[in-house]
Amino acid sequence: KPFSRNELNRLGITSVQLSELLKEESVHRLRRGVYVLAGTDLSNETQFQAATMRIDGPSAVCLFSALWYYNLTDHIPKKVWLLVPENKHTAHKDIQLLRSSNPRWKIGIEKHKGFAITNLERTLVDSLCAKRNLGPQIGIDALKTALREKKTTLDKVLRMAKSLEVDHRIQNYIEVLA
């Protein structure tokens, strides 16, 4: 699990000691202020945990990062995409924020160890609605893949869209694929 510089301070580990641990490669720096022990699996989950730690307040992995997590895209995200409240900003170049005035934290967001992520259906709905961020084809291709691989159904996707009150925005896609 990634840990922050503040966590090291609380444990009494000084900057000099951290430098030594980094030199001897007992600890690796993931990003500025975020570290892992040597031998830690640097999977998607670790990257998501690290990004979540650096954003103060609520967030959920979404869009490209969630599509990659669910194996619904061939596009490798260069940044971790996070859904955040509309007033959140970041200077971290490896995090892409999707700001929302109404993130609906209780709909289609799952808690994992150290991070939250939009579930499969919400990820598909968000991807179809986020044409400006992803382009129109990414969401369509992801939906086709999820249906072909029987990861979900059109009915589940439509129910999620209705829960999020965006069913009118994806209705055309659903009708074409039905």
Give the mean model confidence (pLDDT) for residues 9-30.
Answer: 87
Asked whether the whole model's pTM tops 0.85, one would answer: no
Q: Which residue has the higher pLDDT, 99 or 32?
A: 99
Q: Which residue has the higher pLDDT, 29 or 172?
A: 172
Give the mean model confidence (pLDDT) for residues 56-79.
Answer: 92
pLDDT tens-digit series, residues 109-128: 999 988 999 999 999 999 99
Among candidate residues 109, 99, 115, 108, the one with its CA nearest the CA of residue 51: 115
Strand partners, 34: 4, 31
Transcribe 94-137 into DSSP letters: TEEEEEES---TTSSEEEETTEEEE-HHHHHHHHHH-HHHH-HH
Q: Mean pLDDT across the chain, nearest whole number? A: 90
